[in-house]
């Protein structure tokens, strides 16, 4: 009896966090309003959504204290119990940049993970938040959905993990000539997307892309069933299922956030004056395990993630039995954060390309989507139609006339490191590790472009909502001062007694750029954004190189690493808590902070030092990809065009 009960149970109970298929479904609307305003830091009303607040409070009070005590045990020169009056608060941001960024993010996380024998201190375990964007969102989501395994287990598929299937190309997993296998792959993807379209929801190329990413990053697909058209391949896996993982249930993992940006229309994108695809002023959206929305003053609102894709007019459902569930498909969410297909529209400046894609979708794949679907961007029925944010006079939310909210790759506004959600005053973070694997230079290294975009956005569009420390004025300065070759702390000092939520107060930003190996030789991690497959040996070399880069610090002379870097990072991590406790910097922390903190005062010293050492700009690229300069941090337009065309060709195959 027991046995048969156990066998029947799973058939009766639906699996938490799993939908029956890729298609969302209609449900009755709840009686309470789906839209919740986030409030404003200007009048002290800004607040976290209740479940997030409960998660963070429990993590802060029950999980983190002993970890902080261990982390801070010996060497900072502080009396730890004095500092702990109000504990440090840490966030980690992982940039976009395709698989390069996923691997760089994962390799850097190995350096932050107390479970690895070589680490900087368990900062992964201590973090309250992790934010990921585009390729970074693939890593952040994969860690969270697989219940926070170690980097090497997660990526290489050890110890019961299925691994990231990176030797299978994302566009042509069967190989360039593997027509049969590729056909099966696209059959699997389009079948699922067709089900969503047939259920009446708008779909685009992003849905197909997201399904492909699921098969590579989530654990419902293995090498052996990859081309099996009868396997489910996580088609019903919801991003909100993160809530049901053990580490989330026990508040043992950082609260994950995925970042996307939005545009009003193709016309806005093409006729805008921005040097980026999407204007910096546009609303940046965040997906959390509980919500979808934005703390930006242009929206200041959110909906429950479970009701993503529900159309509301001025906050009200037009049909009270047509609210939407299961729209937050895990692949769709990470595909949305990496939805870069629209970037080619600027390049072509014509409808030709858009029409081509629509034709591909409808004729070639047989998918007939609703006529108001918008090609090339992620289509999310707009819960903020007719919405007017509070405190903005009569200025409505910019996309308030759109039936479909047009969501795109988070990096398309130039902010390729997802700092925005971590700068939100209500989240109170003291320190943010900014892991940057953008391809800014001709050789696919970052050069500070993303931080400069965040500084500009904060100054011009987000005054008093968020604050950002002073950084150099230009990428040229980042490069000349060597800030692209080693970690740097920005904003070490504030004048608000350590209160990071006060107007003008900011967290310390630890810039951790993807950089050439310290010894000058070794695996080069500046692969192309459009390298869409990696051999297993390359994956190991890449992770190892990123791990080493994370550990190295500011190496001087003949050193290949600074043995005091972990301690310097510890000093920065506790520095706001130290200020709050009214304790002076210890001698050792003062000296290490002076080494790693950037200010106008040290710019010239750093420039001279960098010039004298010849810099280490790594002006060589790691083959395996297209080359060519990019005017965007995240993407190379011609390569995106290639990507879309390649996808189209695969669909035709």
Ligand X SMILES: *[C@@H]1O[C@H](CO)[C@@H](O)[C@H](O)[C@H]1NC(C)=O
Residues that bind ligand X (CB under 6 A): 26, 42, 70, 73-74, 79, 81-82, 110, 115-118, 146-147, 150, 152, 162, 219, 245, 271-273, 314-315, 319, 321-322, 396, 398, 400-401, 440-441, 447, 449, 463-464, 475-476, 479, 492-493, 503, 544, 547, 585, 597, 599, 604-605, 608, 633
Q: How far is the CB of 493 from ligand X (least distance, A)?
A: 4
Q: How far is the CB of 87 from ligand X (least distance, A)?
A: 14
Comparison of 309 and 358: residue with beta carbon closer to ligand X: 309
Q: How far is the CB of 118 from ligand X (least distance, A)?
A: 6
Q: How many CB atoms lie within 10 A of CB 480?
A: 18
Radius of gyration of the chain (CA): 24
* 599 phi, psi to nearest 5 deg: -155, 165
Q: How far is the CB of 88 from ligand X (least distance, A)?
A: 15
Q: How far is the CB of 226 from ligand X (least distance, A)?
A: 14
Q: Can you read off the two tokens belonging to residue 252?
A: 């043992």
Q: How far is the CB of 476 from ligand X (least distance, A)?
A: 5
Residues 6+ apart with CB under 8 A from 173: 165, 181, 182, 185, 226, 227, 533
Residue 277: in which H helix or E strand, if any? none
Give the span between the Cα atoms of 530 and 169, in whole angstroms.
11
Q: How far is the CB of 288 from ligand X (least distance, A)?
A: 18
Q: How far is the CB of 628 from ligand X (least distance, A)?
A: 12
Task: Please report the DSSP string for 250-273 in residue order.
Answer: TT-SPEEEEEEEEES-HHHHHH--
Comparison of 401 and 613: residue with beta carbon closer to ligand X: 401
Residues 6+ apart with CB under 8 A from 371: none
Comparison of 499 and 599: residue with beta carbon closer to ligand X: 599
Comparison of 49 and 447: residue with beta carbon closer to ligand X: 447
Q: Measured in whole angstroms, how far is the alpha carbon of residue 376 from the centre of its chain?
A: 20
Task: Please report the DSSP string for 503-537 in residue order.
Answer: TT--PEEEEEE----TTS-S------TT-----HH
Q: How far is the CB of 239 from ligand X (least distance, A)?
A: 13
Nearest Cα to Cα of residue 317 among 35, 83, 64, 75:
35
Q: How far is the CB of 594 from ligand X (least distance, A)?
A: 7
Give the span between the Cα atoms of 508 and 504, in whole angstroms.
13
Burial 613-650 (b: 16+ CB within 10 A, else e): eebbbbeebbeebeeeebebbbbbbebbbebbebbbeb
Comparison of 314 and 359: residue with beta carbon closer to ligand X: 314
User: Is the four-CA dihedral 90, 136, 630, 514 of positive or negative sign?
Assistant: positive
Give the span between the Cα atoms of 531 and 538, in whole angstroms.
12
Comparison of 361 and 492: residue with beta carbon closer to ligand X: 492
Give the span between the Cα atoms of 402 and 383, in whole angstroms.
10
Comparison of 363 and 590: residue with beta carbon closer to ligand X: 590
Comparison of 138 and 186: residue with beta carbon closer to ligand X: 138
Comparison of 271 and 355: residue with beta carbon closer to ligand X: 271
Comparison of 155 and 643: residue with beta carbon closer to ligand X: 155
Cβ(398)–Cβ(285) below 8 Å: no
Q: Can you read off the two tokens belonging to residue 610?
A: 């960098």
Comparison of 418 and 475: residue with beta carbon closer to ligand X: 475
Give the span between the Cα atoms of 59 and 149, in whole angstroms.
19
Residue 342: burial class (beta carbons within 10 Å; 0-12, 13-18, 19+): buried
Residue 25: in which H helix or E strand, if any? strand 25-27
Q: How far is the CB of 646 from ligand X (least distance, A)?
A: 24
């Amino acid at each position: 009896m027991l046995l048969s009960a156990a066998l029947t149970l799973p058939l009766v109970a639906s699996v938490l966090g799993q939908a029956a298929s890729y298609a969302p479904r209609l449900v009755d609307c709840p009686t309470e309003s789906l839209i919740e305003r986030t409030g404003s830091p200007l009048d002290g009303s800004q607040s976290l959504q209740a479940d997030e607040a409960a998660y963070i409070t429990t993590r802060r009070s029950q999980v983190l204290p002993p970890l902080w005590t261990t982390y801070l045990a010996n060497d900072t020169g502080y009396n730890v119990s004095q500092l702990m009056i109000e504990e440090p608060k840490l966030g980690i941001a992982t940039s976009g940049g395709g698989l390069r960024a996923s691997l760089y993010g994962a390799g850097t996380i190995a350096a932050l993970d107390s479970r690895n024998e070589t680490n900087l201190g368990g900062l992964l375990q201590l973090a309250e938040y992790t934010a990921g964007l585009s390729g970074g969102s693939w890593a952040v989501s994969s860690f969270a959905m697989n219940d926070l395994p170690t980097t090497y287990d997660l990526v290489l598929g050890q110890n019961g993990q299925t691994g990231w299937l990176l030797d299978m190309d994302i566009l042509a997993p069967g190989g360039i000539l593997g027509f049969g296998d590729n056909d099966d792959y696209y059959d699997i993807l389009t079948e699922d997307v067709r089900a969503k379209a047939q259920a009446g929801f708008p779909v685009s190329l992003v849905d197909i892309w997201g399904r492909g990413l699921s098969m590579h990053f989530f654990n419902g697909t293995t090498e052996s069933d990859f081309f099996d058209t009868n396997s489910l391949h996580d088609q019903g896996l919801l991003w909100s299922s993160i809530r049901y993982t053990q580490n989330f249930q026990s508040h043992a993992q950082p609260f994950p956030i995925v970042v996307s940006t939005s545009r009003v229309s193709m016309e806005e994108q093409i006729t805008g004056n921005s040097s980026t695809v999407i204007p910096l002023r546009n609303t940046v959206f965040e997906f959390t395990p509980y919500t979808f929305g934005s703390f930006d003053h242009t929206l200041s609102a959110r909906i429950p993630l479970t009701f993503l894709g529900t159309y509301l007019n001025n906050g009200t459902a037009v049909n009270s039995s047509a609210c939407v569930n299961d729209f937050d498909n895990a692949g769709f969410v990470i595909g949305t954060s990496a939805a870069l297909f629209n970037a080619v529209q600027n390049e072509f400046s014509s409808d030709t390309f858009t029409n081509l894609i629509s034709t591909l979708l409808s004729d070639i794949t047989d998918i007939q989507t609703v006529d108001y679907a918008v090609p090339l961007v992620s289509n999310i029925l707009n819960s903020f139609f007719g919405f007017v944010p509070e405190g903005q006079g009569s200025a409505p939310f910019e996309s308030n006339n759109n039936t479909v909210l047009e969501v795109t790759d988070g990096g398309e506004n130039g902010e390729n490191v997802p700092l925005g959600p971590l700068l939100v005053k209500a989240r109170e973070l003291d320190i943010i590790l900014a892991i940057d694997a953008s391809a800014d230079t001709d050789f696919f290294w970052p050069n500070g472009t993303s931080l400069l975009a965040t500084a500009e956005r904060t100054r011009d569009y987000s005054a008093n909502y968020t604050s950002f420390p002073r950084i150099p004025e230009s990428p040229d300065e980042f490069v000349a001062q060597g800030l692209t070759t080693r970690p740097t702390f920005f904003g070490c000092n504030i004048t608000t007694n350590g209160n990071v939520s006060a107007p003008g107060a900011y967290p310390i930003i630890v810039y951790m750029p993807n950089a050439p190996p310290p010894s000058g030789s070794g695996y080069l991690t500046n692969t192309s954004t459009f390298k869409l497959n990696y051999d297993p040996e390359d994956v190991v070399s890449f992770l190892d190189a990123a791990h080493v880069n994370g550990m190295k610090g500011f190496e001087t002379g003949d050193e290949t690493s600074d043995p005091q870097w972990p301690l310097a990072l510890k000093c920065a991590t506790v520095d706001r808590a130290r200020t709050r406790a009214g304790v002076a910097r210890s001698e050792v922390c003062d000296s290490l902070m002076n080494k790693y903190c950037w200010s106008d005062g040290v710019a010239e010293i750093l420039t001279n030092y960098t010039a004298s050492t010849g810099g280490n700009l790594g002006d060589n690229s790691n083959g395996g990809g297209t080359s060519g300069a990019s005017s965007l941090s995240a993407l190379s337009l011609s390569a995106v065009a290639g990507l879309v065309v390649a996808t189209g060709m695969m669909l035709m195959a």
